[in-house]
Amino acid sequence: MILLQRQGPHTAGPARARGRRRLLMALLGFGAGLVACGQEPAEPLAPLAGGNLVVTVSPIDGGRIASLRFYGRELLTQADARTEGNWGSTLWVSPQAAWDWPPPKAFDAQPFSYEQSANQLRLQGQVDAQTGIKLHKQITLLGGDRLQLAYGLENPGKAPVQAAGWEVTRVPQAGLVVFATQAPVWLSHGELAYEQFGDLVWLDARKPVGRGKLNANGRGWLAWVQGRDLWIKRFDDLAEAQQAPGEAELQVFVGNRGYLELEAQGAYQTIAPGARAAFTTEWQLVRLPADVEVGVDSPSLQTLLQSLGLKL
């Protein structure tokens, strides 16, 4: 069943060009620990490597994940003239209506301080004057080609703020996207062709699918297959009431710059002064067995997803 929907115009506004920023810091602080640095922060840092995964983070660019390699192949969209700053994997706060467009520089562009060990990287951003929020990130290799991303939304101000964590990951406009939903999906703008069989929604980006943003109250996961590689994002399965106003637990964005956005959001909540809200995702990479067929409504692919603990 092919579904094609039309909504209003794209609300994100024009793409912004953003040069990469460099900042000389003599001392980089993080929480109770300090990282001494007599030169520019590494751009990017030494990678975290384990199993078949190599993860590289750029603290200068909003502490975003700049590279994710699986069996040596890059999975994330890289920075170039076409993407205009929309590359890698980053963290925003939701709803977008709180800051419109572009994203606050404190979240997406300004340098993050950091503390690194063999299998973990902790980063801390700057306070955003518009939302009053300061972002924290903890990226940990879990083994088994899995990665945990523990985010914190800190409110250092004197009044409560409301927000949800929002992980935005850009991948090439290719492959097959699949997720399960417990409610009707909806488009916040644009037109997208997708197929739905039962509770599973499939977007086949191996062919033209249009442009737009697909939203769903999912079941705590979102998957993307590129070639023979399967990338699963796991996150909290939210009730409808927990989603940020006008937003959704999971979102898939297709634009005109050659990338897809695989997005997950945490619970929308009130953050008291001095408190911090948590939002955690887990990434798992899997090389597909030879007998798994990659295609819309593939029974063998569904069986594999179930074997990995995903609720279909």
79-88, 95-104, 253-262, range with the lowest pLDDT: 79-88
The pLDDT of 275-287, averaged and rounded, is: 98
pLDDT band at 42 (very low <50, low <70, confident <90, very high): low
How do residues 212-253 score in pLDDT, each as one tens digit?
999 999 999 999 999 999 999 999 999 999 999 999 999 999
Give 302's DSSP letter: H
Alpha helices in 214-256 (DSSP H): none
How do residues 43-61 score in pLDDT, each as one tens digit?
678 899 999 999 999 999 9
Indicate whether 31 pLDDT > 60: no
Q: Alpha-carbon distance 280 to 265, whole Å? A: 9
How do residues 2-26 score in pLDDT, each as one tens digit?
333 323 323 344 333 333 333 222 2
pLDDT of residue 81: 81
Residue carrying structure tokens 């935005």 = 168
Check: pTM over 0.75? Answer yes or no: yes
Indicate whether 185 pLDDT > 50: yes
Q: Which candidate, 177, 229, 222, places its Cα nearest to that of 68?
A: 229
Indicate whether 267 pLDDT > 80: yes
pLDDT band at 308 (very low <50, low <70, confident <90, very high): very high
**Under a CB-based contact definition with an 8 Å cutoff, are residues 14 and 100 in contact?**
no
Residues 6+ apart with CB under 8 A from 225: 175, 176, 178, 231, 288, 294, 301
Region of 251 please: left (phi>0), alpha (psi -120 to 50) or beta: beta
pLDDT band at 41 (very low <50, low <70, confident <90, very high): low
pLDDT band at 1 (very low <50, low <70, confident <90, very high): very low
pLDDT band at 177 (very low <50, low <70, confident <90, very high): very high
9-18, 198-207, 275-284, range with the lowest pLDDT: 9-18
Burial status of residue 81 (CB atoms within 10 A of its CB: 0-12, 13-18, 19 or more): exposed
pLDDT band at 32 (very low <50, low <70, confident <90, very high): very low
Query: And the tokens for 40?
Result: 């520019």
